[in-house]
Amino acid sequence: MDMLTTTLSFENMHMHGELMVNLLRARKQSFIVQNKWDLPEVAGMEYDQYDTPASSWIAVHEGERVMAGVRLTPTTARCGMYSYMLRDAQKGMLDSIPSNLLFDEAPIDPRVLDATRVFVARDVPAEQRMEVQTQLMEKLISSARAMNAREVLGLVPAVWPRWIRRLGLVAYAAGPVMLIDGVPVQVARMDLSNSHRH
């Protein structure tokens, strides 16, 4: 079966069957079951206050099986007291993420996106993981560009420099490496205007 990448939104998710539900189920498997993060779940799906119509979600999948995913939220998003995950964490609003996660003040800019909930499913075989990561990052880049973004801030696994270099992207550490529930993560800043892939 072919591996596909799909960018989901509230506007198009009805055209993709169970894919959005399966993405949230795969997130539960990654973040709650494997990482043991204390996150909301219902009906086998992990979700939080940033899964709103302001966000988009990228799924790498074979049919209905979700192999990897990421959520993209504009840094201009607002919903009640919340904006986007990295800014709210910096403001001390999220118990689970340290407030010193960024070197600089979190931006509010229509051309900067927040990438969170990045995962590759554990059941993806080792020999396929590189391809899955590449598909995820390439779709993230093309989707971010389609949203007129010039930069993506992402709370990502601390191994991100290996992924990014392979894709010819320009990226910088935007905060310190932190352990969140035993998993090393870091905020990376990807510059879409200077990447080698146009």
Cα atoms in the Cβ-side hemisphere of radius 13 Å centred on 63: 2
User: With 50 as the cut, is the pLDDT of residue 47 above it?
Assistant: yes
Residue 167, pLDDT score: 77
Other beta carbons less than 10 A from residue 35's beta carbon: 15
User: With 90 as the cut, is the pLDDT of residue 24 above it?
Assistant: yes
Q: 121: which strand partners?
A: none
Higher pLDDT among residues 181 and 124, named by residue: 124
Q: Which of 16, 14, 124 is nearest to 68 (CA)?
A: 124
Give residue for tokens 């998710």. Answer: 13
What domains does the chain contain, in order, with CATH numbers?
A: 4-194 (3.40.630.30)
Instruction: Output the pTM of the full model.
Output: 0.92
User: With 70 as the cut, is the pLDDT of residue 195 above it?
Assistant: no
Q: Please tell me the distance from the alpha carbon of residue 106 to that of residue 110, in angstroms, as a whole number.
A: 13
Give percent of the chain with pLDDT exceeding 70. Answer: 97
Residue 155 parent element (H or E)? strand 151-157
The number of angstroms, rounded, from the C-alpha of 147 to the middle of its chain's C-alpha atoms is: 15
